[in-house]
Amino acid sequence: MDILLKENWIKLPQKNGDPPHLLGGRCQVCGFCCFPYRFACSKCRRDDSMQEVALGPRARLETFALMQVGPPDIPTPYIMAYVRTKEGALIFTLVTGCEVREDAVHLGQEMELVLEKIKEDENGNNLIGWKFRPVAGGPQ
């Protein structure tokens, strides 16, 4: 069975063909943007300015690491990364949809959000969460 991790942080496609989005927060005063949503802005330290915003599905690959060792529940090798959305939110993510090689992705590359299995729980259920993959045919 598939179980969506952090369903409050994810906006599922409204209809077939729509992309998923992540639900972040944006400060209406300073523009600070974060994922996931938080109620107070840590840049201007106020609790009346954050508005929910749908992030993605596109983001730029900020940096990444090809991991040959990892936690027991994530199969190796894998690529972990930071991506930055156009709104400025920095998101930690696993990379999918490409070969697991150092030269399969590069800094600054355009990526897109997908919902995929992250790991399994103790009952063998697939835990589904956010990952990013290189945009096919997108600008390099």
Interacting residue ranges for another protein, rule: CB under 8 A:
6, 32, 34-36, 42-43, 63-72, 74, 78, 80-82, 84, 90, 92-94, 102, 107, 118, 129
**Closest separation in Å from C-beta 25 to another protein:** 11
Q: Evaluate whether 133 touches 97 at the Cβ level (below 8 Å).
A: yes
Q: Evaluate whether 79 touches 61 at the Cβ level (below 8 Å).
A: no
Please report the DSSP string for 26-71 in residue order: EETTT--EESS--SSBTTTTBSS-EEEEEE-SEEEEEEEEEESS--
Greatest CA separation found in the chain? Answer: 45
**Closest separation in Å from C-beta 12 to another protein:** 19
Nearer to another protein, 35 or 55 (CB): 35
Residue holding tokens 């990952």? 131
Nearer to another protein, 54 or 78 (CB): 78
The SS3 assignment for 121 reads: coil
**Closest separation in Å from C-beta 102 to another protein:** 5
**Closest separation in Å from C-beta 43 to another protein:** 7
Nearer to another protein, 14 or 85 (CB): 85
d(CA 60, CA 125): 31
